[in-house]
Amino acid sequence: MAEVFLRRLTRWQAEQQREAMAHLYVTCHEPDGGSREAFLDRFERHVQESDFDMVTANSGAVLVGCLYGYRPERGGALADAFRDLLPADLVVPAGSGRLFVLTELMVLPEYRCRGVATRLRDLLLSRHTADVVAAAVPPGTKSAHEVLRAWSYTKLGEFPAPPGEAWLRPRSD
């Protein structure tokens, strides 16, 4: 298997790659396929969020993985959902704009269990100084649960709109 290279994408580059991201999303969610249209709708909204940041993994000319996230807007649905689930000592830092949420992780099946997801996470978070790092995943996403558990994240609970689960990164005290 060819070597995997990581790169950070600007907001503009991410928008230019939307069709490639949608193809990766559908491929990663086979056999169910996931909804391409629903992904593109979410992706379009996410790219516009504050501090949107994205890292991709490529092997040769093939896009094999992607991780992105952003700082949810204070008073927005995602920030409010996390506020209601976070431990009390993290509510103030998260509420003052120091919450970064991982919102999409995709790695092609043949590249899983090779450290690609962890490399994506490390590069993405290397330039963020958020006090609270969390993940928002669709409910019941087995592969996402496995990765988050491997990273020692803890499930905080579920939020209704949009339906999802909140997971919290272990604190690095």
Residue 147: CATH number of its domain: 3.40.630.30
Please report the pLDDT score of residue 143 as a whole number. Answer: 81
In the predicted structure, residue 6 carries a pLDDT above the cut 50: yes
Confirm whether 123 is domain-assigned. yes
pLDDT at 173 over 50: no
pLDDT above 50 (res 84): yes
Instruction: List the domain range (segments joined by +) for residue 79.
Output: 5-168
pLDDT digits (tens, 9 = 90+) for 88-130: 888 888 878 889 999 999 999 999 989 999 999 999 999 887 8
pTM of the shown model: 0.91
| Nearest by Cα to 68 from 117, 132, 16, 34 | 117
73 is a domain residue: yes
Model pLDDT, residue 172? 65
- Between β-strands 132-137 and 99-107, what pairing exists: parallel, antiparallel or unpaired? parallel
Query: Is 19 among the domain residues?
Result: yes
**Number of folded domains in the chain?**
1
pLDDT of 150 reads 94
pLDDT score for 92: 86
Residue 131 has what pLDDT? Answer: 84
Strands (E), the chain: 5-9, 53-59, 62-70, 99-107, 132-137, 154-159, 164-168
Q: What is the pLDDT of residue 1?
A: 60
Please indicate, yes or no, if residue 13 is contained in any of the structural domains: yes
Average pLDDT rounded to a whole number, residues 54-77: 91
| Chain mean pLDDT for the chain | 88
Q: What is the pLDDT of residue 167?
A: 94
Q: Which of 91, 66, 81, 54 is nearest to 136 (CA)?
A: 81
Higher pLDDT, 170 or 135: 135
Return the percentage of the chain with pLDDT > 70, whole number: 95
Q: Is 96 a member of any domain?
A: yes
- Looking at the domain assignment, is residue 173 inside a domain? no
